[in-house]
Amino acid sequence: MKQKIYEIPIWEAYETKNCECPLCSIEKKSDDNFIQTLFSEMVMDVRLNPHLVENYDFCHEHFEKLYRYPDKCGLAVLTNRILHLKKEALKSSELPRKSVSKNPIKKLFIKNIETIQDKKECLLCNKLDESMNNYMKTLVNLWVKEENFKEIYKNSRGFCLKHYNQVLKISSVIINNQLKQEEFIEITSKIQEENLNRLQQELEWFISKFDYRFANEPWNTSKDALIRTIQKLIGNYNTKI
Ligand SMILES: [Zn+2]
Ligand SMILES: [Zn+2]
């Protein structure tokens, strides 16, 4: 069996031992790669052509992530452009506001301007969503066509709740065969349920370990059960812990 290049990250993520969500581990790597590309290529482009920034923005999480990257000068160049554009946007939304008085049509017009500005989305979130969508499609297709992958999938730990819902949604769109589709949903929800139960047991043992009666008992696999449970609940992409 020859692996296609875009399938390799999926196989690699499923090889990672004790991984609570293989898609989270792909998402984290992709995000790091996008950020690296942003600094190595885009910052340079923005220096040459400041208008490149016009169509994007960053969300709260990504601005924090960008700030943790060592290239503070590069980030300052980008941030300066965004600040400049925000100021321009403020100016243009303030002008009609002064003359709006009580005219309801003008009020509506201003409301529309604000809505359009609010709609501006995070460049990195957009890129990440697009690439994760492709990875999820690849994952489901691998399950359909590769017996070997099907076996690995069956013994995996499922997904975080976000990716669990997304994978099920995508599978219902791309698996055409009704029986196959039902089989996928059944095995995926079974794995998910078993693993949530397993995680809960680990977390409960973690809690018990704070009781003096169990202080000398072994931790077993529970030492990192708290962080793994949090990651299962919200994904590990935006957890800093
Ligand atoms: Zn996940
Ligand atoms: Zn974002």
Give per-residue pLDDT as tens, 88-112. 888 887 665 555 556 665 555 555 5
The pair of structure tokens assigned to 43 is 């910052």
The pair of structure tokens assigned to 121 is 């989305």
- Domain stops at, among 124, 143, 175: 124
CA–centroid distance, 232 to ligand 1, in Å, is 7
Q: How many domains does the chain have?
A: 2
Q: Is the pLDDT of residue 200 over 70?
A: yes
CA–centroid distance, 116 to ligand 2, in Å, is 18
Taking residues 179-190, report their average pLDDT.
Answer: 97
- 36-40, 139-143, 190-194 — which is least confidently predicted? 36-40
CA–centroid distance, 39 to ligand 2, in Å, is 15
Same domain? 114 vs 197 = no
Instruction: Please report how many Cα atoms fall inside a 13 Å half-sphere around the Cα of residue 177, on the Cβ side.
Output: 8
Which ligand does the CA of 166 lie closest to?
1
Q: Is the pLDDT of residue 115 over 60?
A: no
- For residue 241, is it within any domain? no
More confidently predicted of 87 and 158: 158
CA–centroid distance, 56 to ligand 2, in Å, is 10
CA–centroid distance, 124 to ligand 2, in Å, is 5
Which ligand does the CA of 24 lie closest to?
1
How many whole angstroms separate alpha carbon 23 and alpha carbon 171?
Answer: 15
More confidently predicted of 42 and 206: 206
Which ligand does the CA of 232 lie closest to?
1
- For residue 89, is it within any domain? yes
Same domain? 218 vs 158 = yes
CA–centroid distance, 166 to ligand 1, in Å, is 9
Taking residues 162-187, report their average pLDDT.
Answer: 96
* pTM value > 0.75: yes
- For residue 118, is it within any domain? yes
Q: What's residue 36's pLDDT?
A: 92
Q: What is the pLDDT of residues 43-102, one digit of tens each?
A: 777 777 766 667 678 999 999 999 999 999 989 988 998 898 888 888 887 665 555 556
Domain limits at 171? 129-234
Residue % of the chain over a pLDDT of 70: 84
Average pLDDT taken over every residue of the chain:
87
Ligand 2 (ion): residues with CB under 5 Å are 59, 62, 122, 124-125
